[in-house]
Amino acid sequence: MKAQIFGLLVTALATPALAGGNHAGGHGEAMAVGEPGKKAKATQTIRVTMKETGDGKMIFTPSTFKVRKDQTIVFAIRNAGELEHEFVLDQEDKITEHKAVMEKFPEMEHDDPNAIRLAAGESGEIIWKFTNGGTFKIACLVPGHYDAGMHGDVTVAGK
């Protein structure tokens, strides 16, 4: 029974991102934070480091970003810490929902274009096109990491 509930939760949460940013049902409604971008169209690369600090905090460096609407960004992400971390880009309410599920299922695997999970020493990238203005969140949703400070803001300004 737990496996069935877990499967339903994973399916319900993953479907919007796995469908290329569309909600289940295929009605074409994109994610508010934007959509996967094409590297050839990127106008900026932002290098982000994830790590723990000596005083027990967990951080992104930098943790705040300003981009333009319709801009495609390459987030070049490096885990310089000793623990596994992830970089998730989404609306604040979606981050809060995902955080709660991750606390119940900490080993949950992701295959979302707006997220990447990296072991210590690994690097990766997310290529993202910001199609809407507003303020969005980045977060590490490995249990305890968000609460230790591993989150930040992305402000998307109009053209």
DSSP 22: P
Q: How far is it, in rounded angstroms, from Cα 33 to Cα 58?
A: 24
For residue 5, the one-letter residue type is: I
pTM of the model: 0.79
The first and second tokens of residue 80, run together, are 């310089």
The backbone torsions φ and ψ at residue 124, rounded to the nearest 5 degrees and listed phi first, read -165, -175
Residue 99: count of CB within 10 angstroms of its CB = 19
CA atoms within 13 A on the CB side of 103: 10
Integer Cα distance of 68 and 66 in angstroms? 7
Q: Which CATH code for domain 33-157?
A: 2.60.40.420
Q: What residue spans define the domains of the chain?
A: 33-157
DSSP 77-142: EEE-SSS-EEEEEE-HHHHHHHHHHHHH-TT-----TTEEEE-TT-EEEEEEE--S-EEEEEE--S
pLDDT tens-digit map of 12-53: 444 333 333 332 333 344 799 999 999 999 999 999 999 999
pLDDT tens digit sequence for 39-93: 999 999 999 999 999 999 999 999 999 999 999 999 999 999 999 999 999 999 9
- 114-to-42, 44, 52, 103, 110 alpha-carbon distances in Å: 15, 17, 22, 19, 10
